[in-house]
């Protein structure tokens, strides 16, 4: 039985049945061709890869899958269908590697504080389940004190970057750059601490690298768990969602992205001007498009619930204005500027004084 969300009007429900449901039912049918990757909202355009392996979203920003909001049970159907093709497995220790590969990966995860320690540990468990691959995992904790060092598994490398000043907002850009400097792998996987990856994720990255791609975004759908289902992930290690998903996101540039280490540094890494929530992924991708990119998503990911970032809810975010300002500069000029910087230092983001009160004008 398909139960609808009572927030939607009868007209909206009928519209979803007429315009969205046929495409959805066609997409979740049993097939070895993974037709579920072609499910989309009615006014969206998907661009298939030449080998039909994945699709790129033909619009700029992220979007939520509408029919899964109107009929939440359908979202669970889609997630279960996708995870049958690409299961997410949680392990405490990495699997023994049964074959040698040509390239090593470095997973890099930025983190702050103990509130999201369960999210981080669940994410690490999904990375531990990566199959037949050689990799390392680096956690960069950006905090006043090293809060999670003793809570991490022994196979994880830990880097602590003390805050240059007491109330500094979290900076993913800085965390990723610090991790990239320390990474030993030829390939960097820039991964969030609340994102569970399918067990074959790393293998698929290697496959696209062997085809000549330097920047790889494999995410098709991100399934956002509710708070209750996320607590079950933390306590029991199960991905069995009950009732409904919080949302299903498409066209996400952030969350997890793979980049050749040499390409990462050649385009200037992440822009450490982004301190606070948002904008850094889009700005990075604009420069990454100067390299050979794979934007065709075909893998499912699960996002475990947490309260929204406080600055995400702000109607006026400094990072939003900064993105507009930086994006107005041609990507080539930004690459020249950023690649000339000495970024990725553990002391402070580039351009911030060590006293940490104001940005340096230098």
Residues 122 and 192 sit within 8 Å (Cβ to Cβ): no
Helix/strand/coil for 143? coil
Summarised one tens digit per residue, pLDDT across range 130-170 is: 998 889 999 999 999 999 999 999 999 999 999 998 888 99
DSSP character string of 46-101: EEE-TTSS-EEESSSS-EE-HHHHHSHHHHHHHHHHHHHHS-----SSPPPP-S--
Summarised one tens digit per residue, pLDDT across range 118-132 is: 999 999 999 999 998
Quote the pLDDT of residue 68: 93
Average pLDDT rounded to a whole number, residues 287-312: 90
Q: Report which DSSP code applies to 352.
A: B
Q: Report which DSSP code applies to 200.
A: T
Indicate whether 293 pLDDT > 70.
Answer: yes
DSSP character string of 122-139: HHHHHHHT--S--EEEEE
Question: What's this model's pTM, rounded to 2 decimal places?
Answer: 0.92
Summarised one tens digit per residue, pLDDT across range 41-51 is: 999 999 999 98
Chain-centroid distance, C-alpha 44: 21
Instruction: Answer with the residue of higher pLDDT: 40 or 316.
Output: 40
Q: What is the mean pLDDT of the chain?
A: 90
d(CA 60, CA 83): 26
Quote the pLDDT of residue 242: 76
Written in H, E and C, the secondary structure of 240-271 is CCCCCCCEEEECCCCCEEEEEHHHHHHCCCCC
First to last CA, the chain: 63
Residues 335 and 328 sit within 8 Å (Cβ to Cβ): no
Average pLDDT rounded to a whole number, residues 343-355: 80
User: How does residue 343 score in pLDDT terms, banded at 50, 70 and 90?
Assistant: very high
Indicate whether 108 pLDDT > 50.
Answer: yes
Q: Report which DSSP code applies to 169.
A: P
Which residues are CB-contacts of 234 (< 8 A; sequence separation ≥ 6)? 118, 119, 121, 122, 304
Retrieve residue 30's tokens: 């049993």
Least confident of 185-189, 210-214, 350-354: 350-354
Quote the pLDDT of residue 357: 45
Quote the pLDDT of residue 309: 67
- Count of beta carbons in the 10 Å neighbourhood of residue 275: 20
d(CA 88, CA 201): 9
């Amino acid at each position: 039985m398909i139960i609808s969300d009572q927030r939607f009007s009868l007209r909206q429900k009928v519209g979803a049945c007429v315009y969205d449901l046929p495409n959805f039912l066609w997409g979740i049918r049993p097939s070895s061709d993974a037709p579920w990757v072609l499910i989309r909202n009615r006014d969206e355009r998907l661009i298939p890869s030449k080998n039909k392996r994945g699709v790129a979203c033909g619009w700029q920003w992220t979007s939520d899958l509408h029919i899964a909001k109107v009929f939440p049970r359908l979202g669970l159907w889609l997630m279960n269908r996708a995870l049958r093709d690409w299961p997410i497995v949680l392990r405490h220790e990495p699997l023994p590697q049964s074959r040698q590969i040509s390239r090593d990966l470095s997973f890099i995860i930025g983190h702050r504080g103990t509130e999201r320690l369960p999210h981080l540990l669940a994410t690490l468990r999904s990375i531990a389940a990566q199959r037949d691959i050689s990799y390392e995992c680096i956690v960069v904790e950006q905090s006043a004190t090293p809060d999670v060092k003793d809570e991490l598994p022994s196979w994880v490398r830990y880097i602590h970057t003390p805050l240059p000043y007491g109330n500094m907002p979290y900076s993913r850009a800085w965390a990723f750059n610090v991790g990239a400097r320390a990474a030993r792998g030829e390939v960097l996987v820039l991964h969030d601490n609340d994102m569970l990856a399918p067990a074959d994720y790393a293998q698929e990255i290697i496959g696209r690298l062997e085809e000549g791609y330097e920047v790889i975004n494999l995410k098709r759908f991100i399934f956002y768990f509710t708070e209750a289902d996320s607590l079950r992930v933390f306590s029991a290690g199960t991905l069995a969602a009950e009732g409904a998903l919080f949302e299903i996101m498409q066209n996400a540039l952030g969350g997890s992205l793979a980049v050749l280490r040499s390409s990462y540094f050649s385009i200037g890494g992440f822009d450490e001007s982004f301190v606070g929530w948002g904008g850094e992924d889009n700005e990075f991708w604009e420069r990454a498009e100067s390299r050979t990119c794979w934007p065709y998503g075909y893998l499912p990911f699960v996002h475990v619930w947490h309260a929204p970032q406080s600055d995400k809810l702000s109607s006026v975010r400094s990072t939003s204005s900064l993105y507009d300002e930086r994006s107005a500069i041609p990507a080539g000029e930004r690459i020249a500027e950023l690649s000339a910087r000495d970024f990725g230092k553990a002391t402070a983001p580039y351009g911030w004084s060590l006293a940490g009160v104001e940005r340096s004008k230098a």
